[in-house]
Amino acid sequence: MAPGDAARATIYYTTHVKNSPLDGAAPTGEIEPAPEQVRACGPEPVGRAGPEPGLLGPEALPDVPTARERVLEALAGYEPERPATIGALVETLGGHPNTTRAHLARLVDDGLVARTTIEARTRGRPALGHHLTDRGRLVIEALRVSRPVSTDELVTAMAEHLAGTSDPEVHARAIGRRWAAQLSAPPSPGAPATSPFDLVVGLLTTAGFSPQVKPDGDIALRTCPVLSSARAHPGVVCTMHEEMLRATLERSGAAHTEVRLVPFARERACLVRLSSPASAESGLPGGHSATGSRGRHTGPVG
C-alpha cells in the first residue's frame, strides 16, 4: 500500500472495543445466509446481485449542512409562481447576502433549488428568484422527520445476530477480512513501502479510534466509533476490528507482522499490539520491530 492510502480510506464508524480472538488465520469462505433470510416474498435473497446503481430503488438523502437546511426551510413557503428573492431570504435568515447566495448556488447545483428570473418592473438587471424543486421538497420533508441511523446501531444489530450463531468468532473474522478488502488495495508495483506500524496507525486514525503510540510500542485506542456494540459484544465487534487490521497487513505484504487487539486494557483505552519474529527473538516489546524507525510513527506519542 502506498503512503497515504490508509489516510484516504474512509471509515465512518462510531463506538468501540474487542476481546482477544484465538490465534490462527481467519476463515475466508462465504458466510451462508440463515434460512429465514431467504423468503418467497419480501427482500431479495442474500447474495443476489442488486440492480445497477442509479437505475432502480430510492436515492440517498444528500448531505445538507444545517446552514443550507435553514435556506431550504426558508424556501418552503415559496412557489415557482412566487419565488423568493435574495432580499427576502436575507430578511428571514439574517447574515450577509453573499452568504445566502453561496448556499443557494450549492443547492441549485445539487438539484434541490431552481433559479428563475423575475420580470423587472423597472429598468435595470432583473432579480433572481428561487424556489424548491420537487426533489428539494422531498428532501426537506425527509430531513424534518428523519433521524440518521448511526453505525453503532447497525453494528449492534449485526453483533446480536452473530452472537446467536454457532460460531460468532468465525463470522466476525470473515467480516473483518471482507472489510479490509474494501478499505485497502494491494501495494502498487514500485510504490514506496509503508511500515506495518505506520499502516496500522493510519488506518486506526481514519477509522475514528484516535490512536496514541505509547513508549513501549503499544497503540492506545482512545475513542471508538462503535463503543456500545463493542461493550455488549466484544467477542464479535473487537474480533472483527482485529481481523480487519490483520488482513490489511497481509494485503500490504506484511503477513509476518502479528496484530493483537486487547479490549478495555487500560483506563479509557483499548490496546493494539504489533509483533514480528524479529521482535520476539530480540526480546523487545511487541511492536518495536514492526515500526521500522521510531521516528516515523504517524500517531502522537504519549
Q: Are 198 and 292 in contact (CB under 8 A)?
A: yes
pLDDT tens-digit readout, 78-97: 999 999 999 999 999 998 99
Give the model's pLDDT for residue 231.
92
Give the model's pLDDT for residue 150.
72
Q: How far apart are CA 104 and CA 4, in angstroms?
A: 35
Look at 41-45, 185-189, 227-231 and tell me which has the smallest mean pLDDT: 41-45
For residue 218, the tally of other CB atoms under 10 A from its CB is 21
In degrees, rounded to 5, the angle at the alpha carbon of residue 228 between the alpha carbons of residues 227 and 230 is: 60
Consecutive H or E run containing 128: strand 128-132
User: Which pLDDT band holds residue 168 (cuts at 50, 70, 90)?
Assistant: very high
Dihedral sign, CA of 14, 18, 21, 24? positive
Give the model's pLDDT for residue 85.
94
Give the model's pLDDT for residue 299.
44
Is-above-0.75 flag for pTM? no
User: Which pLDDT band holds residue 269 (cuts at 50, 70, 90)?
Assistant: very high
84: which strand partners? 130
User: Which pLDDT band holds residue 151 (cuts at 50, 70, 90)?
Assistant: confident
Give the model's pLDDT for residue 57.
67
The residue that leads in pLDDT, 230 or 46, is 230
